[in-house]
Amino acid sequence: MTKSQSSKAQKIDTQLTQIGRNPSDFHGFVNPPVVHASTVLFPDIETMSLGSQKYSYARRGTPTTESLENAITELEGAAGTKLATSGLNAIATACLSCLKAGDHILIADTAYGPTREFADTVLPKFAIEVDYYDPALGANIKNLFKDNTTAVLTESPGSLTFEMQDIPALASAAKNIGATVIMDNTWASPLYCRPLDLGVDLSIQAGTKYIVGHSDVMLGTISASERAWPALHAFHGTTGLHVAPDDVYLALRGLRTLSVRLERHMKNALVVADWLKTRPEVANIRYPALESDPGHSIWKRDFTGASSLFAFDFRQGTTDAQSTLFFNTLTLFGLGYSWGGFESLAIPVKLKDQRTATAYDADQKSARLHIGLEDPEDLINDLAQAFDKAFG
Protein backbone atom coordinates (compact mmCIF):
# COMPACT_ATOMS: atom_id res chain seq x y z
CA MET A 1 0.00 0.00 0.00
CA THR A 2 2.36 2.71 1.10
CA LYS A 3 6.11 3.00 1.08
CA SER A 4 7.82 0.20 3.00
CA GLN A 5 11.21 0.40 4.62
CA SER A 6 13.53 -1.88 2.67
CA SER A 7 17.12 -0.75 2.46
CA LYS A 8 17.75 1.74 -0.34
CA ALA A 9 21.31 0.48 -0.63
CA GLN A 10 20.24 -2.93 -1.89
CA LYS A 11 20.76 -3.71 -5.57
CA ILE A 12 17.70 -4.50 -7.64
CA ASP A 13 18.28 -8.29 -7.86
CA THR A 14 18.48 -8.46 -4.06
CA GLN A 15 15.39 -6.28 -3.70
CA LEU A 16 13.42 -8.63 -5.95
CA THR A 17 14.01 -11.46 -3.48
CA GLN A 18 13.01 -9.36 -0.44
CA ILE A 19 10.20 -6.98 -1.34
CA GLY A 20 6.57 -7.63 -0.46
CA ARG A 21 7.17 -10.38 2.07
CA ASN A 22 7.80 -10.56 5.77
CA PRO A 23 8.13 -14.19 6.94
CA SER A 24 8.02 -13.30 10.64
CA ASP A 25 4.43 -12.09 10.16
CA PHE A 26 3.44 -15.54 8.90
CA HIS A 27 5.13 -18.13 11.15
CA GLY A 28 8.33 -18.02 9.07
CA PHE A 29 6.85 -19.17 5.80
CA VAL A 30 8.90 -17.68 2.97
CA ASN A 31 5.95 -16.45 0.91
CA PRO A 32 2.91 -14.45 2.07
CA PRO A 33 -0.34 -16.40 2.42
CA VAL A 34 -3.04 -16.38 -0.25
CA VAL A 35 -5.86 -14.87 1.80
CA HIS A 36 -9.29 -15.73 0.42
CA ALA A 37 -11.56 -13.35 2.24
CA SER A 38 -14.41 -10.93 2.43
CA THR A 39 -15.28 -10.40 6.11
CA VAL A 40 -12.72 -9.34 8.69
CA LEU A 41 -13.77 -9.63 12.35
CA PHE A 42 -13.29 -6.92 14.98
CA PRO A 43 -12.75 -7.67 18.68
CA ASP A 44 -15.32 -5.10 19.82
CA ILE A 45 -17.54 -2.21 18.72
CA GLU A 46 -15.00 0.38 19.89
CA THR A 47 -12.34 -0.96 17.49
CA MET A 48 -14.91 -1.21 14.73
CA SER A 49 -16.06 2.41 15.04
CA LEU A 50 -12.53 3.81 15.49
CA GLY A 51 -11.51 2.42 12.09
CA SER A 52 -8.02 1.78 13.48
CA GLN A 53 -7.76 -1.94 12.71
CA LYS A 54 -5.27 -2.64 9.90
CA TYR A 55 -7.72 -4.67 7.82
CA SER A 56 -11.45 -3.91 7.84
CA TYR A 57 -12.91 -5.62 4.77
CA ALA A 58 -11.11 -7.57 2.04
CA ARG A 59 -12.14 -5.19 -0.75
CA ARG A 60 -10.02 -2.54 0.98
CA GLY A 61 -6.96 -4.78 1.13
CA THR A 62 -5.61 -8.06 2.47
CA PRO A 63 -2.11 -9.28 3.41
CA THR A 64 -1.94 -10.75 -0.11
CA THR A 65 -2.86 -7.62 -2.07
CA GLU A 66 -0.71 -5.52 0.24
CA SER A 67 2.34 -7.72 -0.44
CA LEU A 68 2.20 -7.07 -4.18
CA GLU A 69 1.35 -3.38 -3.71
CA ASN A 70 4.35 -2.92 -1.40
CA ALA A 71 6.66 -4.75 -3.79
CA ILE A 72 5.64 -2.64 -6.81
CA THR A 73 5.82 0.55 -4.70
CA GLU A 74 9.46 -0.26 -3.94
CA LEU A 75 10.32 -0.98 -7.56
CA GLU A 76 8.60 2.13 -8.94
CA GLY A 77 9.91 4.39 -6.15
CA ALA A 78 6.31 5.44 -5.51
CA ALA A 79 4.29 6.83 -2.60
CA GLY A 80 1.83 3.98 -3.06
CA THR A 81 0.46 1.40 -5.50
CA LYS A 82 -3.03 0.09 -6.26
CA LEU A 83 -3.89 -3.10 -8.11
CA ALA A 84 -6.30 -3.35 -11.01
CA THR A 85 -8.00 -6.27 -12.74
CA SER A 86 -6.05 -5.77 -16.00
CA GLY A 87 -3.59 -3.37 -17.57
CA LEU A 88 -6.42 -1.62 -19.36
CA ASN A 89 -8.35 -1.30 -16.12
CA ALA A 90 -5.24 0.27 -14.53
CA ILE A 91 -5.15 2.89 -17.32
CA ALA A 92 -8.87 3.63 -16.98
CA THR A 93 -8.58 3.86 -13.18
CA ALA A 94 -5.56 6.17 -13.35
CA CYS A 95 -7.33 8.49 -15.80
CA LEU A 96 -10.60 8.60 -13.88
CA SER A 97 -8.76 9.19 -10.60
CA CYS A 98 -7.46 12.55 -11.82
CA LEU A 99 -10.05 13.76 -14.37
CA LYS A 100 -13.44 15.43 -13.93
CA ALA A 101 -16.13 16.86 -16.18
CA GLY A 102 -14.83 19.76 -18.28
CA ASP A 103 -11.20 18.60 -18.20
CA HIS A 104 -8.96 18.01 -21.22
CA ILE A 105 -6.47 15.12 -21.59
CA LEU A 106 -3.66 14.81 -24.14
CA ILE A 107 -2.80 11.25 -25.19
CA ALA A 108 0.24 10.05 -27.15
CA ASP A 109 -0.71 9.08 -30.70
CA THR A 110 1.20 5.83 -30.18
CA ALA A 111 -1.02 4.74 -27.27
CA TYR A 112 -2.14 1.13 -26.96
CA GLY A 113 -5.29 0.58 -29.10
CA PRO A 114 -7.71 -0.28 -26.26
CA THR A 115 -6.46 2.83 -24.38
CA ARG A 116 -7.65 4.89 -27.35
CA GLU A 117 -10.97 3.10 -27.39
CA PHE A 118 -11.48 3.86 -23.69
CA ALA A 119 -10.53 7.51 -24.22
CA ASP A 120 -12.72 7.91 -27.31
CA THR A 121 -15.83 6.16 -26.01
CA VAL A 122 -15.88 6.50 -22.19
CA LEU A 123 -14.26 9.86 -21.41
CA PRO A 124 -16.59 11.95 -23.65
CA LYS A 125 -19.59 10.52 -21.75
CA PHE A 126 -18.22 12.31 -18.69
CA ALA A 127 -17.62 15.52 -20.66
CA ILE A 128 -13.85 15.03 -20.74
CA GLU A 129 -12.15 16.31 -23.91
CA VAL A 130 -9.54 14.08 -25.57
CA ASP A 131 -6.80 15.08 -28.02
CA TYR A 132 -3.89 13.07 -29.36
CA TYR A 133 -0.34 14.40 -29.68
CA ASP A 134 2.64 13.59 -31.85
CA PRO A 135 4.97 11.46 -29.67
CA ALA A 136 7.98 13.41 -31.01
CA LEU A 137 6.79 16.73 -29.50
CA GLY A 138 8.78 16.70 -26.26
CA ALA A 139 8.64 20.12 -24.54
CA ASN A 140 6.59 21.49 -27.45
CA ILE A 141 3.59 19.66 -26.10
CA LYS A 142 2.99 22.98 -24.33
CA ASN A 143 1.60 24.35 -27.61
CA LEU A 144 -1.30 21.91 -27.30
CA PHE A 145 -2.19 22.83 -23.72
CA LYS A 146 -5.59 24.43 -23.17
CA ASP A 147 -6.92 26.20 -20.09
CA ASN A 148 -8.62 22.96 -19.05
CA THR A 149 -5.72 20.53 -19.73
CA THR A 150 -5.32 18.50 -16.55
CA ALA A 151 -3.65 15.27 -17.70
CA VAL A 152 -1.17 13.85 -20.20
CA LEU A 153 -1.21 10.13 -20.93
CA THR A 154 1.96 8.76 -22.45
CA GLU A 155 3.39 5.40 -23.43
CA SER A 156 7.06 5.16 -24.30
CA PRO A 157 7.97 3.39 -26.47
CA GLY A 158 4.58 2.87 -28.15
CA SER A 159 3.86 -0.85 -28.20
CA LEU A 160 3.24 -1.07 -31.98
CA THR A 161 5.67 1.40 -33.55
CA PHE A 162 8.16 1.86 -30.69
CA GLU A 163 8.76 5.61 -30.87
CA MET A 164 10.55 6.85 -27.76
CA GLN A 165 9.34 10.04 -26.11
CA ASP A 166 11.22 12.66 -24.15
CA ILE A 167 9.40 11.98 -20.89
CA PRO A 168 11.35 14.44 -18.68
CA ALA A 169 10.59 17.26 -21.17
CA LEU A 170 6.90 16.32 -21.38
CA ALA A 171 6.61 15.98 -17.62
CA SER A 172 8.30 19.28 -16.92
CA ALA A 173 5.97 21.09 -19.39
CA ALA A 174 2.95 19.41 -17.78
CA LYS A 175 4.17 20.35 -14.32
CA ASN A 176 4.18 24.03 -15.31
CA ILE A 177 0.40 23.92 -15.72
CA GLY A 178 -0.20 21.50 -12.83
CA ALA A 179 -1.30 18.64 -15.10
CA THR A 180 -0.99 15.01 -14.01
CA VAL A 181 1.30 12.85 -16.17
CA ILE A 182 0.29 9.21 -16.56
CA MET A 183 2.70 6.77 -18.21
CA ASP A 184 2.04 3.25 -19.43
CA ASN A 185 5.38 1.69 -18.48
CA THR A 186 4.58 -1.88 -19.48
CA TRP A 187 7.31 -2.22 -22.13
CA ALA A 188 10.22 -1.45 -19.82
CA SER A 189 8.72 -2.83 -16.59
CA PRO A 190 9.73 -1.03 -13.38
CA LEU A 191 13.15 -2.68 -13.69
CA TYR A 192 14.23 -0.87 -16.85
CA CYS A 193 12.43 2.46 -16.38
CA ARG A 194 11.23 4.35 -13.29
CA PRO A 195 8.75 6.92 -14.65
CA LEU A 196 8.29 8.65 -11.29
CA ASP A 197 12.01 9.52 -11.30
CA LEU A 198 11.43 11.18 -14.71
CA GLY A 199 8.64 13.42 -13.39
CA VAL A 200 5.63 11.18 -14.05
CA ASP A 201 2.78 11.12 -11.46
CA LEU A 202 1.08 7.80 -12.20
CA SER A 203 3.05 4.84 -13.57
CA ILE A 204 1.09 1.93 -14.99
CA GLN A 205 2.00 -1.68 -15.56
CA ALA A 206 0.01 -4.24 -17.47
CA GLY A 207 1.23 -6.83 -14.93
CA THR A 208 -0.30 -9.35 -17.33
CA LYS A 209 2.88 -9.01 -19.38
CA TYR A 210 6.37 -9.25 -17.85
CA ILE A 211 5.50 -9.18 -14.14
CA VAL A 212 3.26 -12.24 -14.30
CA GLY A 213 5.47 -13.52 -17.11
CA HIS A 214 3.70 -16.81 -17.78
CA SER A 215 0.64 -15.83 -19.87
CA ASP A 216 -1.75 -17.06 -17.21
CA VAL A 217 -3.11 -13.99 -15.33
CA MET A 218 -4.69 -10.61 -16.12
CA LEU A 219 -3.55 -7.87 -13.72
CA GLY A 220 -2.64 -4.19 -13.62
CA THR A 221 -0.76 -1.91 -11.24
CA ILE A 222 -0.90 1.87 -10.73
CA SER A 223 1.91 3.51 -8.77
CA ALA A 224 1.54 7.11 -7.67
CA SER A 225 3.74 10.04 -6.67
CA GLU A 226 3.01 11.77 -3.34
CA ARG A 227 0.96 14.33 -5.28
CA ALA A 228 -1.22 11.81 -7.15
CA TRP A 229 -1.57 9.22 -4.37
CA PRO A 230 -4.51 10.66 -2.35
CA ALA A 231 -6.80 10.89 -5.41
CA LEU A 232 -5.80 7.42 -6.63
CA HIS A 233 -6.28 5.87 -3.19
CA ALA A 234 -9.72 7.47 -2.81
CA PHE A 235 -10.95 6.65 -6.32
CA HIS A 236 -9.75 3.06 -6.15
CA GLY A 237 -11.43 2.53 -2.79
CA THR A 238 -14.75 4.15 -3.65
CA THR A 239 -15.13 2.33 -6.98
CA GLY A 240 -14.59 -1.07 -5.36
CA LEU A 241 -11.65 -2.41 -7.30
CA HIS A 242 -10.26 -5.65 -5.92
CA VAL A 243 -8.02 -8.29 -7.49
CA ALA A 244 -8.48 -11.98 -6.62
CA PRO A 245 -5.83 -13.42 -4.27
CA ASP A 246 -4.65 -16.28 -6.50
CA ASP A 247 -3.92 -13.84 -9.31
CA VAL A 248 -2.08 -11.51 -6.95
CA TYR A 249 -0.02 -14.43 -5.70
CA LEU A 250 0.97 -15.47 -9.23
CA ALA A 251 2.10 -11.91 -9.95
CA LEU A 252 4.23 -11.90 -6.79
CA ARG A 253 5.73 -15.21 -7.82
CA GLY A 254 6.46 -13.85 -11.30
CA LEU A 255 8.16 -10.81 -9.80
CA ARG A 256 10.85 -12.94 -8.13
CA THR A 257 12.29 -13.97 -11.51
CA LEU A 258 11.56 -10.74 -13.41
CA SER A 259 15.20 -9.67 -13.57
CA VAL A 260 16.60 -12.96 -14.86
CA ARG A 261 13.77 -13.36 -17.34
CA LEU A 262 14.11 -9.81 -18.69
CA GLU A 263 17.86 -10.18 -19.08
CA ARG A 264 17.38 -13.29 -21.22
CA HIS A 265 14.45 -11.75 -23.13
CA MET A 266 16.63 -8.78 -24.09
CA LYS A 267 19.61 -10.94 -25.01
CA ASN A 268 17.46 -13.15 -27.25
CA ALA A 269 15.68 -10.16 -28.79
CA LEU A 270 18.99 -8.55 -29.76
CA VAL A 271 20.18 -11.78 -31.41
CA VAL A 272 16.96 -12.06 -33.43
CA ALA A 273 16.89 -8.32 -34.30
CA ASP A 274 20.52 -8.44 -35.51
CA TRP A 275 19.69 -11.41 -37.71
CA LEU A 276 16.60 -9.67 -39.13
CA LYS A 277 18.89 -6.86 -40.36
CA THR A 278 20.43 -9.37 -42.78
CA ARG A 279 17.10 -10.36 -44.37
CA PRO A 280 16.13 -8.81 -47.71
CA GLU A 281 12.43 -9.09 -46.76
CA VAL A 282 12.98 -6.62 -43.87
CA ALA A 283 13.11 -2.87 -44.56
CA ASN A 284 13.42 -1.49 -41.05
CA ILE A 285 13.53 -2.64 -37.43
CA ARG A 286 11.73 -0.68 -34.73
CA TYR A 287 13.60 -1.43 -31.50
CA PRO A 288 15.04 1.37 -29.32
CA ALA A 289 17.80 -0.96 -28.05
CA LEU A 290 19.39 -0.89 -31.54
CA GLU A 291 21.86 1.89 -32.24
CA SER A 292 20.20 2.45 -35.61
CA ASP A 293 16.85 3.26 -33.95
CA PRO A 294 15.86 6.97 -33.90
CA GLY A 295 14.85 6.63 -30.23
CA HIS A 296 18.13 4.99 -29.16
CA SER A 297 19.66 8.04 -27.45
CA ILE A 298 16.54 8.75 -25.37
CA TRP A 299 16.32 5.05 -24.49
CA LYS A 300 19.95 5.08 -23.37
CA ARG A 301 19.44 8.21 -21.29
CA ASP A 302 16.18 7.21 -19.52
CA PHE A 303 16.09 3.38 -19.49
CA THR A 304 18.45 0.78 -18.05
CA GLY A 305 17.43 -2.06 -20.37
CA ALA A 306 15.08 -3.15 -23.11
CA SER A 307 12.36 -5.74 -23.08
CA SER A 308 11.90 -8.13 -25.97
CA LEU A 309 8.97 -6.57 -27.81
CA PHE A 310 9.82 -4.92 -31.13
CA ALA A 311 8.57 -4.64 -34.70
CA PHE A 312 9.96 -4.79 -38.21
CA ASP A 313 8.63 -3.39 -41.47
CA PHE A 314 8.36 -5.73 -44.44
CA ARG A 315 10.13 -4.45 -47.56
CA GLN A 316 8.17 -2.20 -49.92
CA GLY A 317 5.88 -4.03 -52.28
CA THR A 318 5.17 -6.89 -49.86
CA THR A 319 1.67 -8.14 -50.63
CA ASP A 320 -1.08 -9.08 -48.19
CA ALA A 321 -0.76 -12.66 -49.37
CA GLN A 322 2.98 -12.69 -48.60
CA SER A 323 2.64 -11.25 -45.10
CA THR A 324 -0.31 -13.54 -44.31
CA LEU A 325 1.65 -16.58 -45.50
CA PHE A 326 4.63 -15.45 -43.38
CA PHE A 327 2.54 -15.39 -40.19
CA ASN A 328 0.68 -18.60 -41.00
CA THR A 329 3.95 -20.45 -41.63
CA LEU A 330 5.50 -19.63 -38.25
CA THR A 331 5.49 -22.59 -35.89
CA LEU A 332 7.42 -21.53 -32.75
CA PHE A 333 5.97 -18.02 -32.76
CA GLY A 334 2.34 -18.16 -31.65
CA LEU A 335 -0.21 -15.82 -33.25
CA GLY A 336 -1.80 -14.01 -30.35
CA TYR A 337 -2.22 -10.78 -28.41
CA SER A 338 -0.35 -9.87 -25.28
CA TRP A 339 3.34 -10.50 -24.63
CA GLY A 340 5.78 -10.77 -21.73
CA GLY A 341 5.29 -14.52 -21.28
CA PHE A 342 7.96 -17.18 -21.68
CA GLU A 343 6.83 -17.96 -25.23
CA SER A 344 7.38 -16.06 -28.46
CA LEU A 345 4.49 -14.35 -30.24
CA ALA A 346 3.93 -12.55 -33.54
CA ILE A 347 1.15 -10.29 -34.83
CA PRO A 348 0.70 -8.15 -37.94
CA VAL A 349 0.69 -4.39 -37.21
CA LYS A 350 -2.02 -2.27 -38.83
CA LEU A 351 -1.84 1.44 -38.13
CA LYS A 352 -5.15 2.28 -39.79
CA ASP A 353 -7.55 3.60 -37.13
CA GLN A 354 -4.68 3.73 -34.60
CA ARG A 355 -3.26 7.13 -35.59
CA THR A 356 -4.91 10.50 -35.78
CA ALA A 357 -2.24 13.08 -34.85
CA THR A 358 0.70 11.90 -36.93
CA ALA A 359 1.12 10.80 -40.55
CA TYR A 360 1.68 7.13 -41.27
CA ASP A 361 1.96 4.94 -44.33
CA ALA A 362 -1.30 2.99 -44.53
CA ASP A 363 0.29 0.53 -46.99
CA GLN A 364 3.22 -0.30 -44.72
CA LYS A 365 3.05 -3.90 -43.56
CA SER A 366 4.82 -4.65 -40.31
CA ALA A 367 5.18 -7.46 -37.82
CA ARG A 368 5.42 -7.18 -34.05
CA LEU A 369 7.45 -9.87 -32.35
CA HIS A 370 7.67 -10.82 -28.72
CA ILE A 371 10.87 -12.79 -28.26
CA GLY A 372 10.44 -15.45 -25.59
CA LEU A 373 12.85 -17.63 -23.65
CA GLU A 374 13.39 -20.22 -26.41
CA ASP A 375 16.87 -20.65 -27.90
CA PRO A 376 17.19 -17.73 -30.35
CA GLU A 377 18.69 -20.05 -32.99
CA ASP A 378 15.43 -22.00 -33.11
CA LEU A 379 13.48 -18.75 -33.36
CA ILE A 380 15.69 -17.59 -36.23
CA ASN A 381 15.18 -20.90 -38.03
CA ASP A 382 11.44 -20.50 -37.63
CA LEU A 383 11.49 -16.96 -39.03
CA ALA A 384 13.80 -18.03 -41.89
CA GLN A 385 11.54 -20.84 -43.05
CA ALA A 386 8.52 -18.49 -42.90
CA PHE A 387 10.33 -15.81 -44.97
CA ASP A 388 11.46 -18.46 -47.46
CA LYS A 389 7.98 -19.87 -47.89
CA ALA A 390 6.23 -16.48 -48.08
CA PHE A 391 8.76 -14.70 -50.31
CA GLY A 392 10.57 -17.57 -52.05
The contact set with ligand PLP (CB under 6 A) reads 86-88, 112, 155, 159, 184, 186, 206, 208-209, 218, 220, 338
For the bound state, the minimum distance from the C-beta of residue 83 to ligand PLP, rounded and expressed in Å, comes to 12
In 27-103, where do the E strands start and end? 80-84
Rounded to a whole number of angstroms, the minimum distance from the CB of residue 159 to ligand PLP is 4
Task: Provide the minimum distance between the beta carbon of 347 and ligand PLP in the complex, in angstroms, as a whole number.
Answer: 11
* Per annotation, catalytic residue among 82, 116, 194, 209: 209
287 classed as catalytic: no
Q: Which helix (H) or strand (E) holds 204?
A: strand 202-206
Q: Active site includes 112?
A: yes
- Choosing from 103, 109, 134, 184, the catalytic residue is 184
CB of 302 to ligand PLP, least distance (A): 17
Closer residue to ligand PLP in complex, CB, 4/86: 86
Q: How buried is 72 (Cβ within 10 angstroms: 0-12 exposed, 13-18 middle, 19+ buried)? A: buried
Residue type, 189: S
Residues 6 or more apart from 75 whose CB is under 8 A from it? 12, 15, 19, 190, 191, 194
Is the peptide bond prior to 135 cis by the omega test (within 30 degrees of 0)? no
In the complex with ligand PLP, the residue whose CB is nearer, 112 or 387, is: 112
Q: Are 385 and 329 in contact (CB under 8 A)?
A: yes
Residue among 23 and 336 whose Cβ is closer to ligand PLP:
336
* Pick 221 or 225: Cβ nearer ligand PLP: 221
Our answer to whether residue 184 is catalytic in this structure is yes
Measured at CB, which residue is nearest to ligand PLP? 87
83 strand-pairing partners? 221
Contacts of 360 (CB under 8 A, 6+ apart): 161, 351
Active centre residues (catalytic): 59, 112, 184, 209
